[in-house]
Chains A and B, each alone.
Chain A
Amino acid sequence: QQPVQSPQAVILREGEDAVINCSSSKALYSVHWYRQKHGEAPVFLMILLKGGEQKGHEKISASFNEKKQQSSLYLTASQLSYSGTYFCGTGGGADGLTFGKGTHLIIQP
């Protein structure tokens, strides 16, 4: 089952903050975050694991609430280079790695 992302799209001015949310109806082993720029392949940002372990970019922060089966990605002081589509992925168990429909982020100067 696909995780659900919100919002579907965000438009920000450079320097503003954004939060992207991801929720799942199934128990989560891990949450993955990826960013895809137009015409490019998705690129890994971060993995959050049960127990609080994280692995990924230093400049990006995220949270993982195991009980609520939710994760949030925090983008602070946004830069033009943050524009793209953000995907959260859930898996690591027997189901593999499935992604949500994505959140489109547009940063304006």
Chain B
Amino acid sequence: EAGVTQSPTHLIKTRGQQATLRCSPISGHTSVYWYQQALGLGLQFLLWYDEGEERNRGNFPPRFSGRQFPNYSSELNVNALELEDSALYLCASRYRGPNTEAFFGQGTRLTVV
């Protein structure tokens, strides 16, 4: 069974540009989560999508946005990139519900220069 896949693995952008990160969940999983992992800050919750809708978002500015497609894959967009957006962005998928484990992708390393 294929795991959660993220693309690209690495992304280098210039300050002010836009970045698009992609995530394909495990087959059958309807929930997709996005997290930002910057050094020393743990897993900061960004966005949660389920059944094509945004269910919740973390404490991030509106320039962080995304969507979930009918096949449950998801896209994270970061506009007007800032240097502090440099981080590892992790995607996780799970079946919806409190007793289901999440499976993480390997992440996209975003570097803003």
User: A residues bordering B, Cβ < 8 Å?
Assistant: 2, 29-30, 32, 34, 40-44, 47, 49, 53, 55-56, 87, 89, 91-102
Interface residues on B, range: 20 to 34
Assess whether A53 is in contact with B90, with CB atoms less than 8 Å apart: no
User: B residues bordering A, Cβ < 8 Å?
Assistant: 31, 33, 35, 40-43, 45, 48, 55-56, 58, 90, 92, 94, 97-107
Bound-complex Cα distance A50 to B58 (A):
25
- A41-B106, A41-B107, A42-B90 known; A99 and B43 CB under 8 Å? yes
Which B residues are CB-close (under 8 A) to A93? 98
Assess whether B99 is in contact with A53, with CB atoms less than 8 Å apart: yes
Bound-complex Cα distance A75 to B85 (A):
34
Which B residues are CB-close (under 8 A) to A94? 55-56
